A = this chain, B = another copy of it.
């Protein structure tokens, strides 16, 4: 019972924590190799103290040119963003950067599988929305339409991912059924 308590429900883990944990499971079971990309940093000054390792003393965050995660499943290239929102009714599109949209377009143009994993944090519901739909909603905004994707739309065009134990967010199972 203790185990169940621990494994279900809100444990204060972020969506990224859950995805990272799922990725570890996929990796150790040789199912998929998916990693989060490190945040790019502009390094300005590094000190090399004697007998100890280099210390970065001045650096700045750079804007990433890609999305959060990528990797391989059954030979195919997978690429996705993780987005969490406190809103109960929609995912605001200001959560995306222009470069992430451009990257998604480029990946799709080269035959990759691109998507977003969205969590509504209040209800802990997780959905996968394919890149093609994300691009349509982005274009709707650019044409003067709404600046968010309604939860109804995510439920309609996306796919609900029930929470599991291991892996907690089994998005690969869904990708398998959608693309293979």
> Chain A residues in contact with chain B, CB under 8 A?
27, 30-33, 35, 37-41, 53-61, 64-66, 70-79, 103, 106-107, 109-112
Which B residues touch A58, using CB under 8 A?
55-57
Which B residues touch A66, using CB under 8 A?
35
- Shortest C-beta distance, A106 to chain B (Å), equals 5
Which B residues touch A53, using CB under 8 A?
60-61
CA distance A72 to B114 in the complex (A): 11
Pair A106/B30 contact, Cβ less than 8 Å: yes
CA distance A71 to B74 in the complex (A): 15
Pair A75/B72 contact, Cβ less than 8 Å: no
Which B residues touch A65, using CB under 8 A?
35
Interface centre among A27, A31, A35, A77 (most CB of B within 10 A): A77
